[in-house]
Chain A
Amino acid sequence: MHDTGAGHLAGRQLSNTTNNAVEYADEEPSAFATMLGGLIEANVESRPEKRKDFDSLAARVGIWVTDIDEGVTLEFRKGSLVVHNGMQPKRDITIRAEAETVMNLSNLRIGLFGMPVYYDGVGRGVASKLLQGKLRIEGLLSNIATLNTVTRIFSVQ
């Protein structure tokens, strides 16, 4: 169970079962940081295939929510994650989208060979935002494999 208002957990272990898998860099993590950190923690805890991706991923991923002017940087360190408030430097990938699209990214289905599915309703919606420029992914071309891994870790489907 998660409480998105639980800012006092900064820098502490969130769960005994994940061995410090998710930590927060800031003393007062934003609600968005706590929500994303909590979501990833729950996914990794409950789904072995996501744990495998999590254990292999080393990357810095920024997510900026354009309609609330808030963002986080996710620093994946092969088996652990540090969530920073705001945009930190040296990001491999930066995703910029509205809140609804960010939520939809978490609802992408994962299909054959671990690829996100872009041909169902949610996938078409995400692809359409990308084509309209309402979903921008900086670093996409040089980090497609990383983006797919991040998407798999994020996805609740």
Chain B
Amino acid sequence: MAVMFLSDEWAKQFEDEVNRSSVYKAAAKGWKWTVGLVVEAEPDKSFPDSRGVVMDLFDGSARSIRVGSAADAQKCDFVITAPYSRWKQVATKELDATKGMLQGKLKLKGDLPTIVRYTKASQEMTECTTRVPVIWPDGN
């Protein structure tokens, strides 16, 4: 059943997808940092305020994924920032996250060698988001 983007239900389903993924479990072994996703406001797309997702990820599993403020997400060890419509493109597989980062469509803050070392884990994390059926604020 589809859930509203950035609702608590969405966060829970996303967390469950990550913890179900054997690919993520193997690829993220040794990961011990928090990751924040900042979803920037786009009022013309029915997304009026910036929001954040705070992911507590540890050694191949998600200890918690919760929705919060953009400021909460910005406090994480790694922060990926993009406008709402870019995140929608990522979650609907219109935009590959790796390409998006190389093109500056998704802005990354954090230790680059670490994130590059875990490229496969971040790709699988993106895959997990695509498996959650979503109701988008601006329609599907």
Asked if A68 and B103 make an inter-chain contact with CB atoms under 8 angstroms apart, the answer reads yes
Q: Closest approach, in angstroms, between the C-beta of A20 and any C-beta of chain B? A: 19
Cβ contact within 8 Å between B119 and A3: no
Whether A112 is near chain B, meaning CB under 8 Å from some CB there, is: no
In chain B between 100 and 129, which residues have their CB closer than 8 angstroms to a CB of chain A? 101-105, 107-114, 116-117, 119, 123
CB contact list, A60-105 vs B, under 8 A? 65, 67-68, 70, 99-100, 102-104
- B119 engages A31 (CB within 8 Å): no
A9 at the interface (CB under 8 A from B): no
Residues on B with C-beta less than 8 A from A1 are 109-111
Q: Mark A26-39, 1 if CB is under 8 A from B, else 0.
A: 00001110110011
Q: Are B109 and A106 in contact (CB under 8 A)?
A: no
Measured between beta carbons, the chain B residues less than 8 angstroms from A5 are: 81, 104, 107
Q: A2 within 8 Å of B by Cβ?
A: yes
Check A42 for interface membership: any CB of B closer than 8 A. yes
**Contacts A1-B110, A2-B110 given: A107-B117 contact, CB under 8 Å?**
yes
Residue B19, interface by CB 8 Å: no
Q: What band does the interface of chain B fall in when counting residues whose beta carbon is under 8 Å from A?
A: 20 to 34
Docked-complex contact B119 and A67, CB < 8 angstroms: no
B111 and A31: CB pair below 8 A? no
Chain B residues closer than 8 Å to A102, beta-carbon distance: 102
A48 to B7 alpha-carbon distance, docked (Å): 46
Interface size class of A (residues with CB under 8 A): 20 to 34
Which B9-57 residues have a C-beta within 8 angstroms of A?
none
B104 touches A2 (CB 8 A): no
Assess the B102–A106 pair: CB atoms within 8 A. no
Q: How far is the CB of B86 from the nearest CB of chain A, in Å?
A: 13
**Cα(A57)–Cα(B110), bound, Å:** 27
For the complex of A and B, the 4 pairs showing the least CB-CB separation, nearest first, are A31-B104, A5-B107, A156-B113, A39-B112
Give the interface of B toward A (CB within 8 A).
81, 96, 98-99, 101-105, 107-114, 116-117, 119, 123
Q: List 11 A-B contacts (CB under 8 A).
A: A1-B110, A4-B112, A31-B103, A39-B113, A43-B113, A65-B99, A65-B102, A70-B103, A99-B96, A104-B119, A156-B116
User: 19 new A-B pairs (CB below 8 Å) besides A42-B112, A99-B99?
Assistant: A1-B109, A1-B110, A1-B111, A2-B110, A4-B101, A4-B109, A5-B104, A31-B104, A31-B105, A32-B103, A38-B112, A39-B116, A100-B98, A106-B116, A107-B116, A156-B113, A156-B114, A156-B117, A157-B117
